[in-house]
Amino acid sequence: MDWYEDKQPTREEAFKKLLGRIHPGAIVLLHSTSKTNGQILDELLTKWEEMGYHFGTLDDLTAAATVSPSTPPL
C-alpha cells in the first residue's frame, strides 16, 4: 500500500515486507509516490543482488526466454 502518501510504511517495515516476498519469477511493483521506496531502493536492490537476483528490462527478459527456454528467468 505504498501508494498512500499519508500512510507510508517505515523503512524497516517496507524492507522486511519486500525482502520476504521476493522469489524466482517475482514481479515487484514499487510506486514512485512512496518516499519510503526512494529511501530503501538502493539498499534493497543491493540485497537482492547479494541473494543472487539480477535485473534487466522486459526486452532482456523476453530475449533470454527466446534464446533458451530452459534458462531460469531473470
pLDDT one digit per residue (tens) for the chain, 74 residues: 677 677 888 889 999 999 988 998 888 888 888 889 889 999 999 999 999 988 888 888 788 767 555 655 55
**Can you read off the three cell numbers belonging to residue 6?**
499519508
What local confidence, expressed as pLDDT, does residue 5 receive?
A: 73
**Can you read off the three cell numbers belonging to residue 16?**
522486511
What local confidence, expressed as pLDDT, does residue 45 receive?
A: 92
What local confidence, expressed as pLDDT, does residue 54 receive?
A: 82
What local confidence, expressed as pLDDT, does residue 73 receive?
A: 56
What is the rounded distance in angstroms from the CA atom of residue 51 to the CA atom of residue 6?
32
Distances (CA, A) of 7 to 1, 4, 31, 36: 8, 5, 13, 10
Q: What SS3 state is found at 45?
A: helix
